[in-house]
Every structure is written in structure tokens, then in C-alpha cells.
């Protein structure tokens, strides 16, 4: 069995198939990790979600901000934007089972046997791995419960922008979600700047990429993440694997073979 991980697919189905063909992926004995943003903005979100669902026993996903956005639209708490590509998913007679499957996916996944952790955007530098998993579980439990509507109705927003364990209710859940699905940079106190989308050379003074924070508690963990396309996959850290290489923006989709760290590339059509 071989484990692979792929960055933000965002509906780039043909590039995903290209990658899986390159490695002769066999769902009967291989596994595919997907670092969130399965769907949206790309040309074939429907085929992508359908494929991942059909192979769900061999797929491990975490939710990204676009996946949560799909849930919010499906449950009626957000209107689709012109750039969204969810129409076929929501209109499908199979949408309910796909949505229910998405609701079961975590924000943070850790495999102690493989010694890998996966998130969509990152982990708050002030959190240990155990804390990250516990906070992730708080959101996951709500997504899987009857309280999902309350969560989705209050999910959007940039505040609170700094984690405190004293946070409660929807503020607490929003803050946890933003760290896992939207973080790129933060200051020494872990305060988020959620507007920054540029590369490592233009970060504002007194801010750090989350993974270069001087006091990051998960420094010894091997972490797979996506979300930050401007990095082009370059993080210069042996324990970090940034797999968003901007396929939906015309660049490429990247697949990591997790045991060897070999990379496979499918250039965007």
C-alpha cells in the first residue's frame, strides 16, 4: 500500500486523474490524502466530488474554506458567488449523500502510524498537536450535529483574530475554523492577518508565515497543507509539505508520495 497526498484540487478533475495515472493509483490498496478545497472555481467540481466519494474508503480529506463554503450554500446560509462552481453538485439527486460525507470530514487529521498531520491552511503556532486535534474536534462535532445551521450561519468573518481558550460559542468555532482553513500569516501573539495572499517576500513587518513562527509548538510534526498558492509549494522545511501549487489559477496540481517524498506534477489544462 502506498499513501499519496494532493493539494487543493478545486474541481480540477482532469489534472487529478493525470496524477493518479502517473502513479498507477489503485484504490484497492493505495490511499489518497486530500488537503482540503476539493471543489470550487475549477471546471469540474461535480466529477471531483463524485470520484472522491466513490473512493471514500481509500480517501482521507480535511475540509478547506471552499468546502465549508459549499456546505453554507447547500444549507441556505450563503448565496453562491459568480466565481463559485457548485451548481451541478447542489442540483444533483446525489447531493445529499455527498454533503453528508463532507460533514464527516475533519479539519485536522493525524496518523500516528505514518507520523503525518494534514490540515488545509495551517495550525495556530500557539497550539500543540493534541490541542489542534481537540479544537478541530469541536468544529467537527458541530458539523455532524443538528447545530450545523447555527455554525454555518455564523461561520464567516475575520474576528476574533487571536486565539484564546476563553472564547465561547460561535466566536470560538469561527476562530478555530479560520486558523485551520484560512491562516497564512500571524504575528508573535498568533494574531491572524486573513487578507494577505502574497508570497514570503512581502509579508508585513512583525508578521510571520504560520510555519515560521519562532515559537510554533508543532515544529517537530510532519505537516501537509495547502491553501497558499503563492508559495508554489516552496516552504524550505523538511517537515512541511505545502501542496497548493495553484492548479485552479493555471499552474499545476501536485501529488506527494508520502513515504519517499517524491513529487508528481500535472500542469493545468
23 confidence band (pLDDT: 50, 70, 90): very high
Instruction: List the grid coordinates of 2.
Output: 502506498
pTM exceeds 0.75? yes
What are the E-state strand segments in 16-113?
31-34, 59-61, 108-111
Q: pLDDT per residue over 78-129, tens digit each?
A: 999 999 999 999 999 999 999 999 999 999 999 999 999 999 999 999 999 9
Three-class DSSP category at 34: strand
Q: In the prediction, which pLDDT does 28 show?
A: 95
Q: How far apart are CA 199 and CA 190, in angstroms?
A: 19
* Average pLDDT for 190-208: 96
For the chain, give the mean pLDDT.
97
* Average pLDDT for 233-256: 95
Residue 140 CB neighbours (<10 A): 18
Residue 269 has pLDDT above 90, yes or no: no
Residue 225 has pLDDT above 90, yes or no: yes
Pairing of strands 3-6, 263-267: unpaired
Identify the CATH assignment for 3-267 out of 3.60.21.10, 3.30.310.160, 1.10.150.120, 3.50.50.60. 3.60.21.10
Amino acid at each position: 500500500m502506498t499513501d499519496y497526498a494532493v493539494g487543493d484540487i478545486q474541481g480540477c478533475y482532469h489534472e487529478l486523474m493525470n496524477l493518479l495515472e502517473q502513479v498507477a493509483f489503485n484504490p484497492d490498496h493505495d490511499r489518497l490524502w486530500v488537503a482540503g478545497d476539493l471543489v470550487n472555481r475549477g471546471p469540474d467540481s461535480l466529477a471531483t466530488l463524485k470520484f472522491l466519494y466513490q473512493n471514500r474508503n481509500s480517501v482521507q480529506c480535511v475540509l478547506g474554506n471552499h468546502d465549508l463554503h459549499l456546505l453554507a450554500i447547500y444549507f441556505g446560509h450563503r448565496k453562491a458567488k459568480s466565481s463559485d462552481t457548485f451548481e451541478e453538485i447542489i442540483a444533483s439527486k446525489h447531493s445529499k449523500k455527498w454533503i453528508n460525507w463532507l460533514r464527516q470530514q475533519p479539519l485536522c487529521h493525524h496518523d500516528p502510524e505514518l507520523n503525518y498531520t494534514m490540515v488545509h491552511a495551517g495550525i495556530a503556532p500557539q497550539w500543540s498537536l493534541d490541542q489542534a486535534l481537540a479544537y478541530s474536534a469541536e468544529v467537527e462535532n458541530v458539523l455532524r450535529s443538528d447545530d450545523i445551521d447555527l455554525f454555518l450561519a455564523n461561520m464567516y468573518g475575520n474576528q476574533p483574530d487571536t486565539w484564546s481558550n476563553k472564547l465561547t460559542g460561535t466566536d470560538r468555532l469561527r476562530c478555530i475554523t479560520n486558523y485551520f482553513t484560512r491562516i497564512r500569516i500571524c504575528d508573535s501573539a498568533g494574531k491572524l492577518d486573513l487578507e494577505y495572499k502574497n508570497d514570503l517576500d512581502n509579508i508585513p513587518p512583525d508578521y510571520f508565515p504560520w510555519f515560521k513562527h519562532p515559537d510554533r509548538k508543532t515544529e517537530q510534526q510532519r505537516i501537509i497543507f495547502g491553501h497558499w498558492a503563492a508559495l508554489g509549494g516552496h516552504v524550505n522545511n523538511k517537515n512541511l509539505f505545502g501542496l497548493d501549487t495553484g492548479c485552479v489559477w493555471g499552474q499545476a496540481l501536485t501529488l506527494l508520495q508520502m513515504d519517499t517524498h517524491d513529487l508528481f506534477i500535472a500542469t493545468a489544462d
